[in-house]
Amino acid sequence: MLLTQSVAPPLRVLVRQDEAPGGDGVGRQNDDFLQPQANPVHRELDLLTAFAESEQRTLEVVSVPAFSDLIPALLANKGDVIAAGLTVTDERKKQLAFTRPTLSVDELLIGKRRAPNAPKTPEQLKGRTVVIPKGSSYLETLGRIPGVVVTERSGLQAPDQLAQEVVDGVSDLTVIDSVRFDVIRRYLPELESLFPLAKGRAIAFALKPEDTALKSKLDAFLIAHAFEGDDVNETGDLSVIEKRKTLRVLTRNNAVSFYLYKGNRDGFDYELIKAFAKSRGLTLEVVLAPSYAELIPMLKRGEGDVIAASLTATPERSKEVSFTRPYLNVRELFVQKKGKPKLATFEDLKGRTVVVRNSSSYAEKLKPLATQYGFTINAAPEDLEVEDLLADVDDGVIDLTVADSHFFQAEALFRKELEAPLSLSGTTEVPIAFATRKENPLLLAALDAYVKKVYRGLEYNVLKKHCFENRGALTEARELSTAKTGALSPYDQLIKKYSTQYGFDWRLMSAQAWRESRFDPKAKSFVGALGLFQVMPATGKELGFTKLADPDQGTHAGIKYMNQLVQRLEPSLPLDERVRFALAGYNAGFGRVQDARRLARELSLNPDVWAGNVEKAMGLMARPQYARRVRTGFCRCAEPVDYVKKIENKYQSFVQLVP
């Protein structure tokens, strides 16, 4: 008789549907916060992934429609543990078992800044209405305050929806935990924390009361990882980091370093440091610095372990931090708009104006050249990024700027009118490197060894090409001979079938399939999207489809997902606008579209109209000065704008071909 080795069952983790991970652990509908440290669910999923690996178990994410469904689903044995940033309350302890805390937060009463008659004490809440999410711990907290009127809301589209409603005047007061509020107020500065309703509330994993073995193992795991004290700034070297099992990387939210793309974390710097963390068995925690100027101070204060933000290794910076060997060498380029006067030598700069930040690595190099060659240097505001200045050049707002060649390459993929004919550094390249604290030589040595091993290797070159040469580009296929065949594609009947089921014009859905895959069911994008409608595997699984390369499943999944996006929008919107918004959401994430609508409202544009309004606001989200004002952060949003336009144009062509 043969003995078979038993396989440990998967660890089933219950999460809310809009926070179910897609790709790289980010909510597939893109309704989460860009900053991973702002969402307890991210840290909990990272912890549980590491725990499952230590137990030689796989991790299976089980999503439920709403926050209020989590506890019933656990008690019905649909999962083993809840990862939802769940606050430990007396009421919940009657039903559930909780692990030791993973985080501690304050519960803050939030109102609009400088609102008249804003309450300053609990006593002043008598007769006032506070709106909170249904099923939250805030109900128990507010229940201790006499006379307060509590309204619970279900069906919220995003974690900050109630905060936005306070800003918009829909409601007066809400409650937000201190971790989320620290991030929300960055892009909703109109909000104000009035006073804490509760301090030091513990957040923990929830389990079934009878699951004592799992609780014991998780408690031991959390003690070993010392997560209960990780909110204290820490400056330890590699041995401390490895004991903690987490590498904290300081970076920036831009096209090169770190951003979200179709629900996945992306960026050249991020991918490199993620691979390093993986090679050491470490979980990567992303900490976004509010500006480049803050990167080194935050590192020295212990708010992160390493900087991975395309930081140029300069002599001045080397006095404060240690740089690894370069992982990228770049040229510093003068950038102008095509059609401007010839710019072949420094002599051609005479009479021109170059705009850069004083804190940039270019400013000091430009000063002697300006005197010698007769051009002017204007100081850009310190809160502007390279992408802002390149956008200003593209828009004709400024004449010239200087950018590292890899930033220029990334922008030039989407800004075709930019050119960089002259190098500030000549043929000399400047080094881009990781930065560590000077007192962390072991981490520096490990990073050096990693860079030496991967630099210009196969995976490095593939990543570099993806980030700077052909991001998201699909090879243009030949046009179909529709006029001769009378068909739009070999899959007309399938597309008609599911378009009819969900109420779409099949020619519009055909236009979308053409844009996504050129009607190739075997197509696979660089982020792993599959099939005729390029559906992400995690999205397909949640929709009930696991074989997306199969034309039937791939078509059904794509059209079903489009229907879900349309249904998430207000029924009061005209259907054609809902479809345009859904198309943009299909490409960039629903959260991006909602952010663009909010930004449109701020800019006195119509948030309910795509053309010339929301599409304009969405395009501005590629500029960091606007990206800072939205929840989902930096976005290559020229792509979804182009996506909608091309599908509309193709749809009109298909209508003429097949009336």
What digits encode the pLDDT tens for the residues 476-507? 333 333 434 458 899 999 999 999 999 999 99
pLDDT per residue over 200-241, tens digit each?
999 999 999 999 999 999 999 988 775 444 445 789 999 999
Give the pLDDT score at 291.
79
CATH topology of domain 233-327+438-471: D-Maltodextrin-Binding Protein; domain 2 (3.40.190)
Q: Is 264 exposed, middle or buried (0-12, 13-18, 19+ CB in 10 A)?
A: buried
Note the pLDDT of residue 525.
82
Could you read off the pLDDT of 516-547 as tens digits, one per residue?
A: 998 999 998 877 889 999 999 888 988 899 99
What does the pLDDT average to over 576-590? 93
The correct CATH number of 10-102+204-231 out of 1.10.357.140, 2.40.70.10, 1.10.3720.10, 3.40.190.10 is 3.40.190.10
Tell me, what's the pLDDT at 33? 56
At 417-466, the pLDDT tens digits run 999 999 998 888 999 999 999 999 999 999 999 999 999 888 888 888 87
- Residue 306's pLDDT band (boundaries 50, 70, 90)? very high
- Only one residue has tokens 């969402």, namely 39
> Which residues, at least 6 apart from 269, have a Cβ–Cβ distance to it below 8 Å?
251, 256, 257, 258, 308, 309, 310
The pLDDT value recorded for residue 419 is 95
Q: In terms of C-beta density within 10 A (0-12 exposed, 13-18 middle, 19 or more buried), how is residue 326 classed?
A: middle
Q: Under 8 Å CB-to-CB from 462, ≥6 apart: which residues?
A: none
Q: Which residue has the higher pLDDT, 659 or 47?
A: 47
**pLDDT score at 491:** 94
Top-level CATH class of 486-657? mainly alpha
* Confidence bin at 102 (pLDDT 50/70/90): confident
Banded pLDDT at 606 (limits 50, 70, 90): very high
Instruction: Tell me the pLDDT of the chain averaged across its residues.
Output: 87
Domain boundaries, the chain: 10-102+204-231, 105-200, 233-327+438-471, 330-432, 486-657
Topology classification of domain 330-432: D-Maltodextrin-Binding Protein; domain 2 (3.40.190)
Q: What pLDDT is attached to residue 28?
A: 40
Q: How far apart are CA 583 and CA 569, in angstroms?
A: 12
* pLDDT computed for residue 428 by the predictor: 87
CATH node for 105-200: 3.40.190.10
Residue type, 397: V
Residue 409: per-residue pLDDT? 87
Domains 105-200 and 233-327+438-471 share a fold: yes
Mean pLDDT of 508-516: 95
| pLDDT bracket for residue 249 (50, 70, 90) | very high
d(CA 635, CA 409): 16
- What average pLDDT does this structure show over 40-66? 85
User: What average pLDDT does this structure show over 324-337?
Assistant: 95
Mean pLDDT of 98-124: 93
- What is the tens place of the pLDDT at every residue in 450-461? 999 999 888 888
Please tell me the distance from the alpha carbon of residue 506 to that of residue 562, in angstroms, as a whole number. 12
- 4 pLDDT more than 50: no
